[in-house]
Structure 1
Amino acid sequence: MSGGDADIARTAALFADPARVRVLTALADGRALAASVLAAEAGLTAQGASAHLAKLREAGLVEAERSGRHRFYRLRPEGVEILETLARFSPARPITSLKEGTRAQALRFARTCYDHLAGRLGVEVTAALVGRGALIATDGVAGTGRRPGDRLSAPTATHPHALGPAADAVFASLGLDLARVNGTRRKRPLLKFCLDWSEQRHHLAGALGAALAAHFLERGWVVRSQPGHRALKLTGSGADALAAHLAVRLAA
């Protein structure tokens, strides 16, 4: 049967669970994230995140996309609209612990992806290299956003960027000798790119990406948050260097 009143209570109940709201909030910026990543950002077990995602998919608020062996979840426009409307009428949630979300936030901000820079730091540096002519698009698409066919959280199948006319000058301003990096014997290509899982934009990988990350660490522009941990912290000198040489302004 159809034609009855809208079941508002049923939909509202989806937003009444704090853990489920954390899942929705993690997706609110348009990213498509794996269940394991959502679990980490929402402070849930993998089973708990999967249960919440199943309910949200059933309600039509979240959609899934398979990429390789993984399934990524994205908030549908209807879910964004409801979440934004509720946010306008909701008070600020008090912070009860300094540790809430800090690990997930640190990984999103800056981390190593194998041996190159990732997270917001990685994609901002890559975008700045494109903006300053150190890298140029090879596919005619402006910017460093996801291209058709790009797999989520994976190296790009093709090379969307090549060295640009200002490459030597820009990398030299950072203190990196591009000719030396390019001339070093290696088994990997100079340029590769990954679609960053947390930012959904390209970050620089390959031999040049590894050399750049190593250079940032040697200069003390970034430091490991903990020994052996992937998360990085941007230092004050690093923030100053990024602003001076790449016009990237990120808070240390």
Structure 2
Amino acid sequence: MAQQQTGSYVCPPCGRCDSIVYQQPGKCPHCGMRLIPQQTSKASRQEAGSICFYLYDGTEVLDFAGPLEVFSYAGFRIFTVGKTKAPVTVQGVLKVIPDYSIQDAPPADIFAIFGGDDGVAAGDPEVISWIKSRDAATKGYFSVCTGAFVLGRAGLLDNLTVTTFHNSIQSLQQAVPSAKVLANVRYVDNGRILTTAGISAGIDGALHLVAKLKGEAEAMRIAKHMEYDKYVPEQGMTVKH
């Protein structure tokens, strides 16, 4: 009979119970995920990188909450930023206290922006200037829904193929004339910049990004754990350069 391994085990990154340490492998009694060695979990978080979630008054809840769930399970270090550290009211009902303001936010590998009352951010010169100032240290961008308008205002979508919320396709085309704005696509991956269509498409784009950075098996594991059966690998568009 094989001897059962002992040591330090945790569940994969989920943001809820992955800090609980167990002495034997098995399944987490809280979330049901299969336990992994603690050192593997730490290495996974370090390799995944960091993501800055910029939130503004009127941000759509599912636009950021869906991708947050995906990226959290994948082990990314996520932090939120508001223009100030005052609570941000999202969807008009939920208050979120940002971790940082634009005055003290640390750099991040990926900058993520979401839809809703996007003009609050896109029409704020101070916020747009701050986004531009971080560009040299930012490896990639991720937008959901009309968050693309914020990236467009920062000049990041010029001459790219992109997408946004289905009711805003023509408006984004007018806002960024040099871009090619596609309808009827879940996401468009330009390499450095990934734009998605509305709301639930953000989950697909986030899973695509996880697959790109950590492998398709990891994306499928997360989709299965979330019981998100809509995810189909490569259902969006990847622009070949």
TM-score of the superposition, structure 1-length normalised?
0.29
Which structure would you say has the larger Rg?
A: 1
TM-score by length of 2: 0.30
Q: More helix by proportion, 1 or 2?
A: 1
